[in-house]
């Protein structure tokens, strides 16, 4: 077929220097806007918060000022970090374990419909038990070390990933499957070249949820008879009415959560370079 000369002379992307520069400048502007606006909003909220505490003369043990929290963050940085360490390890281990199990099970489900029909309802049932109820059971089963916390973090990651992964592996374009049949592809090739690829956007949206919930799981696990970790520090600070420390602990926990989320997002951008018209 002849090339359509009217649209693009040599095919491919035509590079127009001025237009390209304009495009990049507009893109940069939007990016800075997206970065700076939330920072501005945070500063505004902190100022409001500070003003409210001072204006209404609220006692420090009920609500501290942001500056008091900030002071604790700097002065007791070593204690905060020492307690972040175990929580981070538990959250990351739980994340890896829970997601790995979910991906493995989803793969098994796609290969064996009977297994899915038998075990999916059980997975749904286990998921309806709230974390706070699962935590004591696991502590009783696994002792007081890191294991029960890892197990809780893993369980909390497991379900969303399982559901998303099963959907991603199954929800493929039917025409893509017909195409593979026309090409006489083997079931293994269909799995690797269609289903796995199709599931990646679904998987990453589950992993991003799991990145934050695994930290929550580890913290909740530490609430039950733990002496170290962000969860333990939250309990200790609360009972000691050391509210600035409580706030600082929470800030450290959520900062870690946000970083974890960011890392997963970064990996996603390198793995999924295409746009899906199906995955949400």
Partner 1 sequence: MTAAVAVSGAIPAGTAAPAKSGAAEAVRCEGVTVRFTTERGTVTALDGVSLAIHAGSFLTLLGPSGCGKSTLLRVIADLVPPSAGKVAVLGAKPEVARRNRDIGFVFQDAALLPWRTALQNVQLPFEVGGAQQRPGTRPPEELLKLVGLAGWENAYPHELSGGMRQRVSIARALVSGPKLLLMDEPFGALDEITRDRLNEELLDVWESTGTTIVFVTHSIYEAVFLSQQVLMLAARPGRVRALVPITLPSPRRLPVRETAEFVALAGLLRRELENC
What is the binding site for partner 1 (CB under 8 A)? 1-4, 8, 10-13, 173, 175-176, 178-186, 189, 193-194, 197-198, 200, 272-277
For residue 264, the minimal CB distance to partner 1 (Å) is 19
Task: Choose between 14 and 41: whose C-beta lies nearer to partner 1.
Answer: 14
For residue 31, the minimal CB distance to partner 1 (Å) is 21
Task: Choose between 33 and 273: whose C-beta lies nearer to partner 1.
Answer: 273
Which residue in the block uniquely carries the two structure tokens 């002496």? 227
For residue 197, the minimal CB distance to partner 1 (Å) is 5
Taking a C-beta distance cutoff of 8 angstroms, is the pair 230, 87 a contact? yes
SS (H, E, C) the chain: CCCCCCCCCCCCCCCCHHHHHHHHHHHHHHHHHHHHHHHHHHHHHHHHHHHHHHHCCCCCCCCCCHHHHHHHHHHCHHHHHHHHHHHHHHHHHHHHHHHHHHHHHHHHHHHCHHHHHHHHHHHHHHHHCCHHHHHHHHHHHHCCCCHHHHHHHHHHHHHHHHHHHHHHHHCCCHHHHHHHHHCCCCHHHHHHHHHHHHHHHHHHHHHHHHHHHHHHHHHHHHCCCCCCCHHHHHHHHHHCCCHHHHHHHHHHHHHHHHHHHHHHHHHHHHHCCCCCCCCC
Task: Choose between 101 and 196: whose C-beta lies nearer to partner 1.
Answer: 196
Task: Choose between 216 and 272: whose C-beta lies nearer to partner 1.
Answer: 272
Task: Choose between 12 and 38: whose C-beta lies nearer to partner 1.
Answer: 12
For residue 12, the minimal CB distance to partner 1 (Å) is 3
Task: Choose between 101 and 272: whose C-beta lies nearer to partner 1.
Answer: 272
**C-alpha to C-alpha distance for 73 and 9, rounded to whole angstroms:** 61
Task: Choose between 110 and 230: whose C-beta lies nearer to partner 1.
Answer: 110
For residue 26, the minimal CB distance to partner 1 (Å) is 19
For residue 261, the minimal CB distance to partner 1 (Å) is 24
For residue 267, the minimal CB distance to partner 1 (Å) is 16
């Amino acid at each position: 077929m002849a090339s359509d000369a009217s649209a693009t002379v040599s095919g491919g992307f035509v590079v127009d220097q001025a237009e390209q520069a304009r495009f990049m400048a507009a893109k940069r502007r939007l990016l800075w806007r997206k970065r700076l606006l939330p920072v501005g909003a945070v500063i505004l909220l902190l100022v409001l918060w500070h003003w409210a505490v001072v204006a209404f003369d609220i006692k420090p043990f009920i609500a501290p000022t942001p500056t008091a929290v900030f002071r604790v963050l700097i002065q007791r940085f070593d204690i905060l970090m020492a307690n972040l360490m175990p929580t981070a390890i538990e959250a990351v281990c739980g994340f890896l374990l829970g997601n790995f199990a979910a991906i493995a099970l989803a793969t098994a489900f796609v290969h064996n419909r009977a297994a899915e029909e038998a075990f999916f309802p059980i997975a749904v049932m286990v998921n309806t038990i709230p974390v706070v109820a699962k935590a004591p059971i696991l502590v009783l089963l696994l002792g007081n070390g890191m294991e029960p916390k890892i197990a809780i973090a893993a369980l909390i990651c497991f379900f969303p990933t399982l559901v998303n992964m099963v959907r991603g592996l199954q929800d493929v374009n039917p025409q893509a499957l017909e195409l593979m049949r026309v090409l006489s592809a083997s079931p293994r090739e269909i799995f690797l070249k269609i289903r796995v690829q199709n599931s990646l956007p679904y998987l990453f949206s589950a992993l991003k949820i799991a990145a934050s919930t695994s930290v929550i799981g580890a913290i909740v696990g530490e609430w039950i008879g733990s002496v170290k970790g962000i969860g333990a520090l939250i309990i200790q600070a609360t009972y000691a009415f050391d509210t600035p420390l409580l706030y600082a602990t929470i800030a450290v926990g959520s900062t870690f959560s946000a970083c974890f989320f960011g890392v997963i997002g970064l990996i996603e951008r390198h793995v999924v370079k295409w746009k899906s018209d199906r995955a949400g």
